[in-house]
Amino acid sequence: MSGSAILDVDLLAFERGDAARRRATVDGVMRSLVNGFVFTSHDVGEALLDDAYGMLAEFFSRPAETKAAFVAPGSHGQTGYTGLLVETAAGSDHADWKEMLNWSRPIPVGHPLQARYPHRYGEQVLPEAAVPGITDVLMRFHDGVFELQRRFLRIIAVGLGASEDFFERLLRHGPTLTRAIHYPPMALAPGAQHEWAAAHGDINLITALPRATAPGLQVLTESGWIDAVAPEERVIINTGMMLEQLTNARIPTGIHRVVAGADQPGDRYSVVQFCHPTPWTILTPLASCVDADHPQRYGAISAGDRLDEVLWEINLIEGS
């Protein structure tokens, strides 16, 4: 495989195919993830994506004071609205030119995770009052994409030499986060390019990115930056820091950015979903990923602590 290639794999071939097709899917995924990215088929539903994007565009078009009513203080950007020029990519000296709406699926009332991690499992803040019906659509979107991520992680588990259901228990009641992002138009000089979001890696296991409304996503490979535009009816899957830690960097974090070119004057909308293990999961490299040629690179840390480290770095912990 070329060092700059992102492969297109078939999730259903792994789930329904014979042994040879399953092996081919696993091989394709593991080869593509050398760059932290892969395309895959999905069954989320194009109509649901259309409904979600339509309602989100309606919300982001509201006046600033209307959107500000849905900020969730103390949530560290894990639910509700986050305004322009707040989130800053780790290592960047300027904030990203984007605004966001964040949501998760609530866990059962009284679950011990709520008491132990209140800022991770707070009450969801969604703009139902501003856009009636949006809560139902966004929750169905969240559930559909999470099911896709759960299934895709079974492929990765097999590729790592672990049990196919290795990730199942880790995901149960994890704070998987869906984020709708609005990148406003940029006024650029002829031939210029502007970063809507600076280069960064995600802090999670895997991220799913259904189709965006415009190009802009770029991936860092050994050959440099390349555009990442998923084929029709495909989802982009990229890897995060927690998966890199669990795999002893056998699967690296997918580094990416979002850029606006001079020929792209309009808005860009995307909806991404960050798949997280439960915060009390201890991230330590799998035995199958450590040997004499690949000594252990990472010590143990809880997923919750690792997430808080990065939230502080990117300016989403209030007061940071």
- Summarize pLDDT for 55-106 with one digit per residue, the tens: 999 999 999 999 999 999 887 778 999 988 775 665 556 667 789 999 999 9
The reported pLDDT for the residue numbered 282 is 96
User: Can you list the alpha helix ranges (DSSP code H) found in the chain?
Assistant: 11-16, 19-32, 46-60, 64-68, 112-116, 134-159, 168-171, 241-246, 303-313
From CA 100, how far away is CA 138, in angstroms rounded? 14
Residue 196 has pLDDT above 50, yes or no: yes
Domains of the chain: 8-313 (2.60.120.330)
CB 221 within 8 A of CB 4: yes
Q: How many of the other CB atoms lie within 10 Å of CB of 167?
A: 25
* Average pLDDT estimate for 123-134: 96
From CA 89, how far away is CA 101, in angstroms rounded? 17
- Enter the tokens of residue 235: 């989802």
From CA 79, how far away is CA 137, in angstroms rounded? 16
Stated pTM of the model: 0.91
- Enter the tokens of residue 91: 């290592």
Residue 124: band (very low, low, confident or very high) from pLDDT cuts 50, 70, 90: very high
Sheet holding 217-221, edge to edge: 193-200, 256-261, 217-221, 224-227
The reported pLDDT for the residue numbered 266 is 73
Residue 175 has pLDDT above 50, yes or no: yes
Q: Cα separations (Å) of 238 from 148, 170, 176, 211, 251? A: 13, 18, 15, 14, 10
The reported pLDDT for the residue numbered 76 is 75
| Percent of the chain with pLDDT strictly greater than 90 | 69
| Percent of the chain with pLDDT strictly greater than 70 | 90
Residue 1 has pLDDT above 50, yes or no: no
- Enter the tokens of residue 303: 């997923």
Q: What is the pLDDT of residues 237-272, one digit of tens each?
A: 999 999 999 999 999 999 999 988 667 767 889 999
Q: Can you tell me which residue has the tokens 């092996």?
A: 23
Task: Output the CA torsion 212→317→146→54 (10° steps).
Answer: -40
The reported pLDDT for the residue numbered 320 is 47
Q: For the chain, what is the mean pLDDT?
A: 89
